[in-house]
A and B are shown apart, each in its own frame.
Chain A
């Protein structure tokens, strides 16, 4: 099975400052159809997770443009250009190239 490793485990960010989360997979997420099935979800405190980014870099409906995703192969990054108070929670990457596997999560807090 593909293992997803996220770093850091936690992040404390001043509002208005950028933040970056890394996600590495144990094998390439490039599918034979040419697509890369890497997703990012945010779970706000006390809520169910919700989708932010799909297929590495496409923002889901309603997701602010301060969120961006990048990467290829086995290395991926989620960036928040200017963190806002509402961005607190745990961020998960997930691969869908072979079954589904989530990363361990990165907790984002506001300083």
Chain B
């Protein structure tokens, strides 16, 4: 059974960096072409894709947020980490991780974590 779970701080201050972890089970981050995406959703707004990483360590970033994002993985821990720098109140959102790979993309999603940016 495939599951993903996001973890990290629920409150960050403006200008600080946000680090989120996605812990997966039911599939391996070392399987060819398997990977994890991060997507966010501001309250009441649409989904926005942020980045993804594949088993071969290929990393792909949103054009608009590329300068602020870093994605990495620890295959032994079944974890994918997303760091976003210089957080702003506009970055307040629910952050989701989802599986991406050889099957249709984003076929399994985590429950999401609501991150609020406020002083």
Q: Give the B-binding residues of A (Cβ under 8 A).
A: 1, 39, 41, 43, 48-51, 54-55, 58, 60, 92, 94, 96, 99-105
Contacts and interface: CB of A to CB of B under 8 A. Distances in A.
Interface of B: 37, 39, 46-49, 52, 60, 62-64, 96, 104-107, 109-112
Contact of A54 (B52, B104, B111): B104
Contacts of A100: 37, 49, 52, 105-106
A104 B110 contact: no
Given A48-B96, A48-B112, A103-B46, A55 B104 contact: yes
A99 B62 contact: yes
Contact of A104 (B46, B64, B104, B107): B46
B106 A41 contact: yes
Contacts, number: 52
Most buried by B among A48, A58, A92, A104: A48
Contacts of A101: 49
B49 A60 contact: no
A99 B112 contact: no
Contact of B47 (A49, A58, A99): A49
Given A1-B63, A100-B105, A48 B110 contact: yes
B46 A92 contact: yes
26 contacts: A39-B104, A39-B106, A41-B47, A43-B47, A48-B109, A48-B111, A49-B47, A49-B106, A49-B109, A50-B109, A51-B106, A60-B104, A94-B47, A99-B49, A99-B60, A99-B62, A100-B49, A100-B52, A100-B105, A100-B106, A102-B39, A102-B47, A102-B48, A102-B49, A104-B46, A105-B47
A100 B105 CA distance: 10
Contacts of B96: 48-49
